[in-house]
Homo-oligomer: A and B are copies of this chain.
Amino acid sequence: MKNNYIKPSILPGFMELLPNDQAIFNDIVNKITNIYENNGCLAIDTPIIEKSSVLLAKSGGETEKQVYRFEKGKNDLSLRFDLTVPFARYVVQHYNDLVFPFKKYQLGKVYRGERNQRGRYREFYQLDIDVIGKDKLSAYNDAWVISLASKAFRSIGLDDYKFKISNRKILKGVLSQLQIVDVQEVITLIDKYDKIGKDNFNDSLRDIVGDEKSSYLTNLLNFKGSNEILLDKLINLNIQNEFFSEGLDELKKVVSTLKILGVKDNEFEVDLKIIRGLDYYTGSVFETFLIGNEQFGSICSGGRYDNLAENYTNNILPGVGISIGLTRLFFVLKEIGFIDRYNIKSSSDYLIIPIGDTLEYSGKVMSDLNEKGYNVSIYFEDDSLKKKLSYANKLNINNVIFIGESEVDNNEIKIKNMISGEEKFINYKDL
């Protein structure tokens, strides 16, 4: 026997689940992907490893620092940090073989070497929908992707969430109208609003743009009221600016289309503080918060990008997408008790316990139940009955079938309901 065992462990920031939780995770994935498929999204899958030159063509700054990048042979490789950039690459590469508008969903792991902290993952699943058009893509699609995310959440029994939506062009137009020079600085500041709090925000904003513009902006960012009232207030600002008008028109269209597509008024709100840090968004932007649990951050985000593929092609390929960070969502749902209340059917309907030399008959029973669609397994090991029943209990198996030699002789089975404890004999032909 060796003395120096290697401690089995995984890296911090990587999620690994026990079978019960994994079953719930997979059930969530299946329910959501079913919604996406039933709404005409095609599945795609792309490599996790991409050429660094392709993957990092557009990115820079914070994103690039977090990328897992390495060499293998002569190749400079990177693990994808989201599914959106590889999707842009996919669309350009397979342009002639795709049908536009191309509606897709994709499930996959992505990698970010983030600072290690609880609830932040370095490997995590994203589940994305995107629509990409040839030359043009209407703002209806912006609403449509949100409506699918809404259906997705409702399919898993989640209802206390709120989409927060805005349009980057509106802010861009306002800043232009105010003749603000440090646009990027102001945008970065607004993006951090929730993190730094109102007071710090106001102070910093005043430092950048001065008193007057600062109070105009904070007033605007904190507009309160229903979506209609908010839109009216924006209209009444009377800003004559191309960006502002375009953004406002798009936002109005998104709001009205959301209702048409079945997203309820209390599921979403216009919030001009929503920016999305990623610099590829150009119009609509959305985030999603769990009501009462906003401190966990957005569980589902996305937006419109008009130029995502610009490094690969001169074709115009505007798109809009929404992404559920599944690993993070699972973490949050576990924290708030949702996972522990989640209903999922038992992994096995039946456990067959052969007693004595009855494997042949047991195999027949298994096949029959299997063909009827039941989950069945056989306990093959030569253990005590107590141990076998404890196995069934621990795995929440509802029914145990005992097959001894007398059952074989009588062409029957003995079945025990593990919940009621009831035992009965059933003739094989009545199975």
Report B-chain residues with C-beta under 8 Å of the C-beta of A220. Answer: none
How far in angstroms is the closest Cβ of chain B from A280? 15
Closest to A139 in B: B380
The verdict on A43 contacting chain B, using a C-beta distance below 8 Å, is: yes
Interface residues on A, range: 35 or more
Contact B38 A376 (CB under 8 A): yes
How far in angstroms is the closest Cβ of chain B from A202? 37
CA distance A7 to B312 in the complex (A): 6
CA distance A54 to B23 in the complex (A): 26
The verdict on A17 contacting chain B, using a C-beta distance below 8 Å, is: yes
Report B-chain residues with C-beta under 8 Å of the C-beta of A45. Answer: 16-17, 22, 25
The verdict on A410 contacting chain B, using a C-beta distance below 8 Å, is: no
Given A73-B113, A363-B261, A374-B38, answer yes or no on A18-B97 (Cβ-Cβ < 8 Å). Answer: yes
Report B-chain residues with C-beta under 8 Å of the C-beta of A14. Answer: 47, 49
Total copies of this chain within the assembly: 2
Closest to A111 in B: B49
CA distance A89 to B51 in the complex (A): 30
Chain B interface: which of A99-107, A191-199, A225-233, A283-291?
A: A99-107
Partner of A375, one of B22, B40, B140, B375: B40
CA distance A109 to B32 in the complex (A): 21
- Which A residues form the contact surface with B (CB < 8 A)? 1-2, 5-11, 14-19, 22-23, 25-26, 37-40, 42-51, 53-54, 57, 68, 70-73, 75, 77, 89-90, 92-94, 97-99, 101, 103-104, 109, 111, 113, 123, 133, 136-138, 140-141, 144, 257, 260-262, 309-314, 347-348, 351, 359-360, 363, 366-367, 370, 373-378, 380-382, 391, 394-395
Provide 11 A-B residue pairs closer than 8 Å at the C-beta atoms, listed in order of the A residue: A5-B312, A5-B314, A6-B312, A19-B44, A22-B45, A48-B123, A68-B70, A68-B72, A70-B72, A137-B381, A260-B363
